[in-house]
Every structure is written in structure tokens, then in C-alpha cells.
């Protein structure tokens, strides 16, 4: 297997674009092993090419003229992270017209001019990759289009906007008003100064349109999606929802009904037991129904420079495979790593001990932990007399040390039984 | 773009294999549009080729000799759904040795002989696809290997066995003992007559090994994974977990620690706020951590004939693409569908009305719903006098009818204000 060199042209160098440059450099070796390609960023088009930027430098420099980059025959793949309709649309049509694979993170463009871009990719033997346009680093587009090629999706429900989900989470969990929660979100950088695009559901509607168009294999534009924002959700609604067993979420819902598509974005109550109800703060998730697979959910960070850049680079690998059709299969196993024995691992532990109810017992038990350098986080006694139990949670401890502690405890006559030892996954 | 014919040989025709045959027939047109291929199942190898089977028939029939199928030069792709180590291993090595792409759902084989299979695929220009081996219909393998090509996964936590998750859910939610919950699972078909493979964590350890080997790009075998089952989890442990804010789950955990891999399967307490805590009944989910993407979760049905067959067919599409490298890009939009206007949609609704506290008010309000053919599911009054509120939840109703009801309510002098109208997503 010979390595290929893939030359990349990058349009835009904002939050996502600069993360793309950094990750490409940091993960060059991994990408070579995984994709069989070396990626060289040849040119980056930016508004002001003179401005100093703290990013890995493109081999042929920054340019203020994106059309030069798109037309350059030495550039194999074009990545677009500029956003907005124009000039992104014209530039990508030029790149696709030249048969180049294109990777884009541009939700707005796809939700309004997707058909035109798909047509051009098909006509000129190029390809169009847009995992990063919906759901940041959450793999959604590839699972929907490839993994579910043999499924007919009937319906999906998504939480696809992090700002509104953060605001609704604060209203639900802290009883905040909409205004206070929004201020909180702005303070933390989860909401823009002008948050209308998020709060009124425009962002979610564009994402809903893209997902619906893929799930149902037809063009759906952002303007086809019914839309209501969250500004009218009151603390009262949130409280009633709670009493009824629901949580209020801004949902993007699309379904096939008698062959028609219904697509909408609006606040809705959803059962507390539904997996989407557990999607808190600025996280996103999409819940997919199909007659064969049943229910699927994809969850993660729906925005941010690095998660989105990971999605862009996953697409770059796919685009590079489409360039060179003779790429051989690569084993995903190439690293040399040791498997750590269980005794060397660390965890938090819960223990349940059946003990004799007598003064000094707790001190003796605590001593066994201390002797083995296992630190206790909390401990208490349940019941009295013959029913006396001690419940313990440790801080993170070495597995071997904990096992030794358990052996020591078993040897104590005041410990009638070590009833349970269980790990506690507090790292999440 | 010309259509290709891809000839498939299928090894095994049990629950998954027969679902593969049915879905291939039912979705032939979709697959042609999505993959650019027609798939013909040429031969199916089964133990007893004479037995009548209620499945679409292979064009060249059933055979009792799987080696004939594997060696047949007219078969382009081999799908294996037999399970077990031998003869599956030898058959797949023969198919890979002949340069054929192979799709397998065989978790056990991959977790013990994966290295050998990968090596053979690489050496002979074939490819090996195994999305169905872990997590049934949940896309996991493709996201891990392709979407996250530019991420270094640091850790994952998974609920990868449906039987044990069902048992633990019953213990948690209904206070059942382990024995009673297991009987319940067996009655519902979620647990086998001999459930040791599930309960003792062998199934989860094999899946953990496959996922760890992909996340960390090195061979990890089932036998490398530390393993504890759930038989010793007591109702007491479950109750203490609840008091401490935790839920007990059988977790498959793998992480990189100083370059070493730590992989383990055991019962653990996990915070009630963690998304994995909401994975109930026989559902599966895998939670992935990476420095760039942050946290991702993939959720769905981890087993079953149809979900697993969807995963097999997604892999078949990928395998067919690797056959014919000149496959042109295909637009995912090909269907002609109408976008349904919001007024034609149906939903359940919550309404909050500020009303005059007077006899007959409720009857008048209920009448407005009845007149518009909107059926009320529940209604009650909150507060009295000037603070009187009426809270209503409807059954599923037409959107237009509901809007008309709201207009009618606004016209009543006993309704001071329609404070809130919100959809309730009870369909999930």
C-alpha cells in the first residue's frame, strides 16, 4: 500500500477552519495509518491574508482570493468553513464543476441550495460531504445515508440547537425564567449577543430540513419547515410539564405520513422516560425511528470548533477515498499497546458490610482502608444490632489495593459479611 | 450512471440471515437508488438445504456445502450470519483469500480471530465489514472508524448486552430480585434458557474487545477483558444506589491510560444524570469520550434479526462500493414527496387557560373542544377566584382544529387568557 498525498484548499479560517488546520497537523500520523493519505493544506482563503494567525501555515500560503484556490488544478479537495450563502455557493459550484470533492460545514447553504450542489456533484463526478453541517461532531449524516441504506426511516425527533436546550435546561432544573436563563447562557458563551437565529428556531429548522431531506431522500428546504421558537415558554409551563411527567424541549420533528413529509420545529413536552429528556445543557441528540431498526439515538456536542472540525476531517478522509479508487483495505489495527491487568486499574468503589454493632467498629474498618491507602469518600451505618450495615463509597483507588482491603475486612471478626463491592463510574 | 449487479453468497439462514433475505427483497428499489447496485442472492448455505423456508429464494438455490459458495467465482460478496468460530473462520479466510469482500455479524469470531481476518483482507485486496457484530442495528463501527478518523478516543462506556440491562432495569424500577427479573426476561424472550453467556458478561466482553480494538487501533481479544457478571447484584445494592443518586448497570468500559489499554465488564453504579442511566430495558448504548469531540453516545436496539440485518445491508452497500471503484457519486435526493402543511398535521396538545372561576365554565370550555372534534384526555382546575387556571391535555388532534379551538376559546368572556399552547410528543 503506497501513501497518497492529498492537497487541500480551505475556504475560511474562523473557529472551525483553524481547528481543522490544528487537528490535521496534530493527527497527521493517525490519519496516514487510518486513511492511507498524507494531507497537505496548500492554500487557505481568508478575508485578510496579512493578519497573523496562530495556526499551522498552509504550504502555499494564505490568499484573499478564494476563486484562485477553487480553480487551482493542484488542489484535490476543497473544504468550506466560511458559512453564509454567498460567496460560498458560487465557490462550491465552481469546485464541484471542476470535479473536485467538496467538504462543507455550511448548514445554511445546504438547507437552501442543496439540490443545486448535489446536482453539480453528480454531473461532474465529484462528491459532496457535509457531516459537519448538522450536529457538530455527532455522526449523523453518514449513519443516516450509509448505515441505514436498507432502512426506511419513518420519523425522527431531534434536539439540534444547543443554545435553546441550555436555556430550557436552566428553566427546568433551576426554575429560572426565560430571560434569566438566556442571560446565563450569554454569560457562558452558549448564546450569541443577538440570539434570534437560535431562539426563534431558524438554526434548528435548517438542520431539520437537511436531516429530513436525507431521511426521506427528497429536497426539503429550511423554509419548508414549520417553526416556533422558545421565547413564549413560561416557568409555569415547565412546572406543569414536570407535574405531568414531561420535560419541555425544542424539538425538530420530521415524519412520513402517507408519503408526505411533515417537518416542524417547536417547543414540546416529552416524557421524562424518553431518552431525549436526558439530553441536558447544550448537548444535542437525534432520535430516529424505523420499522426494522426500531429506535436509534445519536447524542453529543452539536457545535464548537473542535467537534465540528473532527466531522470535517472524517469527511475529508471519505473524500480522499473517492479520489483514488485503488485504495486498498487498511486494517484498523496498527498500534502496539499493552493491555493493563485489572489489578493496575483505578476506580471508585461502593461497599456494603454486615457488621457487629459495637463501639469502635467503624474505626477498625476505616483503619483497614487507610492501611491499604484507599481513601474513603463517605461512610454511614444503617440499622442497629443484628441488622447493622455499613455503607461506604471510596475515592478513586487502585483495584489491587481495594481487593486487599476486602481481604483484610473479611478477616475481622466484627465484619460478619462483605455483602457487596461495586465500582462507581463517577468520571462519566 | 449504470446499475451494477452484485451477486451475494449468504452463509447461514437463521434469524439474521432470513431477515437479510427479506429486507434485500423488500428494499431492492431503495438500495438501487441509494447504492447504485442491484443485489442478487445467488446461493445460501444452510445445514439442511431440503427444509422448506419462508424466505425469498436464492437464484441458484440453497446448498449444504458452504465451501462451494465461498469458492464460487460468480459470487462477488460473502455475508456470514452463521455465528461460532468454526467453520465460520475457515470459510471467511477462504473468501478473503479469494479477494472477496466479506460482511459478518460474528462477534465471537472477531473478538478471538480478528487479527487473522484483517490480515487476510489486507493481503488479498478484499475488505472486512462487521457493523452487525456489535450493537445490532446501532451504527457504531462506521462512526468509530470513519467519522472519528481524526479523533483519538480516550475512553468509552457501553451498555452492550440487552438481557442484563433488562434484568437490572426490572430490579431498579420494580424492586424485583435478580431471580424474578431473570424469569421475567426469559418469559419475554429477552433471555435464553441458558443465560450464562449474557449474565456472566461473556457476550459483553466480546463486544467490549471489538470496540476497544477499533477505538485504540490494536488487537484486543475477549480474553483480554476483565469480566464480572450481574448475578451477585442484590436488591439492596440497587436500593442504596438509588439513595446515592446512582443506577446499577452492567458496563463495558475501555480506556487508554498512559498508552495502555484497560478493558473491563462489570456491574457499576452510574450517576442518574448520566445519559447511560436513561438506557432502559433491553436497549444498548455506547458513550464515547474524545479530547476533540467531547462526549458522544450511540443508542438503540442492540440485537434482533431485523436491526442486525439493517447493519449487515449497510455493510453490503459499503462492500459493493469497494468492488466497483468507478461508482459515481449519487445524490441522496431522489424521491418525489410533498411537504405537508402544518394545519394538516396531528399532535397532542397541552393548554393553560386563565379563566373566571364560575360554575359551568369547564362545560363551556369542554364544549369548544367538542365542537372542533378535539378530544380531551385530561383536564383539571388549579387555584380559585382570580387565580383560577384550567390545565388541559388533548388526545391527538388535527393542528387546524386545535387552532380553531383556541380562537373559539379566546372569544369566550369566561376565558381571560390562553396562556400556553404546547405540543406533547407522546409517540416518542
Q: What is the rounded average pLDDT of the residues B400-426?
A: 92
Residue A279 and residue B297: Cα distance in Å, rounded? 11
- CB nearest A292 (choices: B33, B289, B306): B306
Q: Which residues contact B241 (CB under 8 A, 6 or more apart)?
A: A350, B172, B247, B248, B269
Name the active-site residue from A100, A207, A249, A373: A207
Give me the residue label for grid cell 445543557: A281
Question: CA B103, B104, B109, B114 torsion: positive or negative?
Answer: positive
B82 band by pLDDT with thresholds 50, 70 and 90: very high
Report which of residues B341 and B90 the model is more confident about: B90
Q: Which residues of B are catalytic?
A: 207
Contact A317 B261 (CB under 8 A): no
- By the CB < 8 Å criterion, does B126 face chain A? yes
Could you report the per-residue pLDDT of A184-199, keeping only the tens digit for each? 999 998 888 889 999 9
Give the pLDDT score at B126.
84
Residue A204 has pLDDT above 70, yes or no: yes
The grid cell for A312 is 470535517
B333 band by pLDDT with thresholds 50, 70 and 90: low
Other CB atoms within 10 A of residue A46 CB = 19
- Residues A75 and A9 sit within 8 Å (Cβ to Cβ): yes
Residue A288 and residue A296: Cα distance in Å, rounded? 5
- CB nearest A217 (choices: B147, B333, B422): B333
User: String of b and e for B341-377 (b: at least 16 CB within 10 Å)?
Assistant: ebeebbbbbbbbbbbeeeeebbeebeebbeebebebe
Average pLDDT of the residues of chain B: 91
Contact B131 A137 (CB under 8 A): no
A2 band by pLDDT with thresholds 50, 70 and 90: low
Angstrom CA distances, B322 to A11, B104, B129, stand at 30, 16, 11
Residue B151 has pLDDT above 80, yes or no: yes
Give the pLDDT score at B1.
46
- Residues B296 and B9 sit within 8 Å (Cβ to Cβ): no
**From the CA of B120, how many Å to the nearest CA of chain A?**
10
Give the pLDDT score at B256.
87
Contact A339 B251 (CB under 8 A): no
Residue B406 and residue A141: Cα distance in Å, rounded? 39
Residue B364 and residue A106: Cα distance in Å, rounded? 51
Contact A297 B299 (CB under 8 A): yes
Q: What is the rounded average pLDDT of the residues B386-405?
A: 91
Which residues in B lie closer than 8 A to residue A240 (C-beta atoms)?
A: 350, 352, 391
Contact B339 A224 (CB under 8 A): yes
Residue B396 has pLDDT above 70, yes or no: yes
B325 band by pLDDT with thresholds 50, 70 and 90: low
Could you report the per-residue pLDDT of B340-353, keeping only the tens digit for each? 777 788 888 999 99
Give the whole-number percent of chain B exceeding pLDDT 90.
Answer: 70
Contact B340 A261 (CB under 8 A): yes
Residue to mutate among A129, A272, A293, A318, with most B CBs inside 10 A, is A293
Residue to mutate among A41, A79, A111, A149, with most B CBs inside 10 A, is A149
Which residues in A lie closer than 8 A to residue B240 (C-beta atoms)?
A: 350, 352, 391
Angstrom CA distances, B145 to A31, A374, B42, stand at 11, 38, 30
**From the CA of A112, how many Å to the nearest CA of chain B?**
14
Contact A23 B150 (CB under 8 A): yes
Residue to mutate among B32, B223, B329, B377, with most A CBs inside 10 A, is B329
B427 band by pLDDT with thresholds 50, 70 and 90: low
Which residues in B lie closer than 8 A to residue A261 (C-beta atoms)?
A: 337-340
Residue B303 and residue B297: Cα distance in Å, rounded? 17
Average pLDDT of the residues of chain A: 91
Cα dihedral A112→A115→A121→A123 (10° resolution): -150
Q: Which residues between 351 and 370 in chain A have a beta carbon less than 8 angstroms from any beta carbon of chain B?
A: 352
The backbone torsions φ and ψ at residue A231, rounded to the nearest 5 degrees and listed phi first, read -60, -25
Contact A217 B33 (CB under 8 A): yes
Q: What is the rounded average pLDDT of the residues B295-316?
A: 95
Residues linked to residue A290 through DSSP beta bridges, in sequence order:
A294
Contact B278 A280 (CB under 8 A): no
B328 band by pLDDT with thresholds 50, 70 and 90: very low
Give the pLDDT score at B128.
92
Residue A33 and residue A333: Cα distance in Å, rounded? 9
Could you report the per-residue pLDDT of A115-153, keeping only the tens digit for each? 899 989 888 888 899 999 999 999 999 999 889 999 999
Contact B423 A273 (CB under 8 A): no
Could you report the per-residue pLDDT of A374-428, keeping only the tens digit for each? 999 999 888 888 888 999 999 999 999 999 999 999 999 999 999 888 888 765 5
- Give the 3-state DSSP-derived string for chain A, with helices as H, strands as E and coil as C: CCCEEEEEEEECCCHHHHHHHHHHHHCHHHHHHHHCEEEEEEEEECCCCCCCCCCCCCCCCEECCHHHHHHCCCCCEEEECCCCCCCHHHHHHHHHHCCCCEEECCHHHHHHHHHHHHHHHHHCCCCEECHHHCCCCCCCHHHHHHHCCCCCCCEEEEECCHHHHHHHHHHHHHCCCHHHHHHHHHHCCCCCCCCHHHHCCHHHHHHHHHHHHHHCCCCCCHHHCEECCCCCCCHHHHHHHHHCCEEEEEEEEEEEECCEEEEEEEEEEEECCCHHHHCCCCEEEEEEEECCCEEEEEEEECCCHHHHHHHHHHHHHHHHHHHCCCCCCCCCCCCCCCECCHHHCEEEEEEEEEECCCCCHHHHHHHHHHHCCCCEEEEEEECCHHHCEEEEEECCEEHHHHHHHHHHHHHCCCEEEEEEEEEEECCC
Element of type H or E holding B148? none
Give the whole-number percent of chain A exceeding pLDDT 90.
Answer: 70
Report which of residues B329 and A60 the model is more confident about: A60
- Residues B31 and B63 sit within 8 Å (Cβ to Cβ): no
- Residues A238 and A174 sit within 8 Å (Cβ to Cβ): no
- CB nearest B147 (choices: A314, A393, A422): A314
Residue A160 has pLDDT above 80, yes or no: yes
Residue B334 has pLDDT above 70, yes or no: no
Contact B151 A310 (CB under 8 A): yes
**From the CA of A192, how many Å to the nearest CA of chain B?**
21
Tally the residues of chain B.
428
Coarse DSSP helix, strand, coil percentages of chain B, rounded to the nearest 5 percent: 40, 25, 35
Q: What is the rounded average pLDDT of the residues B117-127?
A: 87
Residue A333 has pLDDT above 70, yes or no: no
Q: What is the rounded average pLDDT of the residues B305-326?
A: 86
Other CB atoms within 10 A of residue A403 CB = 14
Give the pLDDT score at A49.
94
Q: Which residues between 199 and 258 in chain A have a beta carbon less than 8 angstroms from any beta carbon of chain B?
A: 213-214, 216-220, 224, 226, 232-234, 236-237, 240-241, 244, 246, 248, 251, 253, 256-257
Q: Write the burial class of residue B311 (CB in 10 Å: 0-12 exposed, 13-18 middle, 19+ buried).
A: buried
Q: What is the rounded average pLDDT of the residues A326-341?
A: 61
Could you report the per-residue pLDDT of B92-106, keeping only the tens digit for each? 999 999 999 999 999
Chain B CA closest to residue A19: B292
Residue A297 and residue A156: Cα distance in Å, rounded? 9
Could you report the per-residue pLDDT of B31-57, keeping only the tens digit for each? 988 888 899 999 999 999 999 999 999
**From the CA of A63, how many Å to the nearest CA of chain B?**
26
Residue A10 and residue A46: Cα distance in Å, rounded? 9
Give the whole-number percent of chain B exceeding pLDDT 70.
Answer: 95
Which residues in A lie closer than 8 A to residue B216 (C-beta atoms)?
A: 335, 337
Which residues in A lie closer than 8 A to residue B340 (C-beta atoms)?
A: 257, 260-262
- By the CB < 8 Å criterion, does B396 face chain A? no
Residue to mutate among B230, B264, B422, B424, with most A CBs inside 10 A, is B422
Give me the residue label for grid cell 441536558: A280
Give the pLDDT score at A1.
45
pTM comes to 0.90
- Residues B390 and B379 sit within 8 Å (Cβ to Cβ): yes
Q: What is the rounded average pLDDT of the residues A283-289?
A: 96
Residue A286 has pLDDT above 80, yes or no: yes
Amino acid at each position: 500500500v503506497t501513501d497518497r498525498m492529498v492537497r487541500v484548499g480551505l475556504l475560511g479560517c474562523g473557529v472551525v477552519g483553524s481547528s481543522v488546520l490544528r487537528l490535521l497537523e496534530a493527527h497527521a500520523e493517525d490519519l496516514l495509518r487510518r486513511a492511507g493519505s498524507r494531507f497537505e493544506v496548500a492554500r487557505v482563503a481568508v478575508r485578510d491574508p496579512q493578519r497573523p494567525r496562530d495556526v499551522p501555515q498552509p504550504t502555499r500560503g494564505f490568499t484573499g482570493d478564494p476563486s484562485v484556490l477553487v480553480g487551482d488544478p493542484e488542489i484535490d479537495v476543497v473544504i468550506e468553513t466560511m458559512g453564509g450563502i454567498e460567496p460560498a455557493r458560487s465557490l462550491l459550484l465552481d469546485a464541484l464543476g471542476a470535479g473536485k470533492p467538496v467538504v462543507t460545514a455550511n448548514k445554511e447553504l445546504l438547507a437552501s441550495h442543496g439540490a443545486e450542489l448535489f446536482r453539480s456533484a453528480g454531473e461532474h463526478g465529484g462528491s459532496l460531504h457535509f457531516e459537519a453541517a448538522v450536529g457538530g461532531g455527532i455522526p449523523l449524516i453518514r449513519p443516516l445515508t450509509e448505515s441505514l441504506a436498507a432502512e426506511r426511516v419513518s420519523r425522527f425527533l431531534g434536539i439540534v440547537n444547543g443554545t435553546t436546550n441550555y436555556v430550557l435546561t436552566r428553566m427546568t432544573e433551576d426554575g429560572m425564567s426565560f430571560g434569566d436563563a438566556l442571560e446565563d447562557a450569554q454569560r457562558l458563551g452558549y448564546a450569541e449577543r443577538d440570539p434570534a437565529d437560535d431562539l426563534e428556531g431558524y438554526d434548528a429548522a435548517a438542520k431539520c430540513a437537511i436531516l429530513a431531506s436525507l431521511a426521506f431522500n427528497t429536497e426539503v428546504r429550511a423554509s419548508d419547515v414549520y417553526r416556533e421558537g422558545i421565547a413564549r415558554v413560561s416557568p409555569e409551563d415547565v412546572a406543569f410539564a414536570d407535574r405531568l411527567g414531561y420535560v419541555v424541549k425544542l424539538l425538530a420533528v420530521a415524519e412520513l405520513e402517507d408519503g408526505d413529509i411533515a417537518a416542524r420545529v417547536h417547543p414540546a413536552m416529552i416524557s421524562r422516560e424518553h431518552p431525549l429528556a436526558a439530553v441536558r445543557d447544550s448537548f444535542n441528540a437525534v432520535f430516529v425511528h424505523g420499522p426494522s431498526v426500531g429506535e436509534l439515538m445519536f447524542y453529543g456536542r452539536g457545535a464548537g470548533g473542535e467537534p465540528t472540525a473532527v466531522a470535517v476531517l472524517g469527511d475529508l478522509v471519505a473524500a480522499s477515498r473517492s479520489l483514488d479508487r485503488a485504495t486498498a483495505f487498511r486494517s484498523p489495527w496498527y498500534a502496539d499497546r499493552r493491555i493493563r491487568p485489572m489489578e493496575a486499574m483505578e476506580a471508585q468503589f461502593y461497599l456494603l458490610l454486615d457488621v457487629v454493632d459495637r463501639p469502635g467498629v467503624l474505626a477498625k474498618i476505616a483503619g483497614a482502608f487507610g492501611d491499604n491507602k484507599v481513601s474513603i469518600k463517605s461512610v454511614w451505618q444503617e440499622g442497629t444490632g443484628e441488622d447493622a450495615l455499613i455503607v461506604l463509597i471510596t475515592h478513586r483507588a487502585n483495584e489491587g489495593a481495594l481487593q486487599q482491603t476486602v481481604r483484610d475486612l473479611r478477616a475481622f471478626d466484627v465484619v460478619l459479611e462483605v455483602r457487596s463491592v461495586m465500582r462507581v463510574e463517577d468520571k462519566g
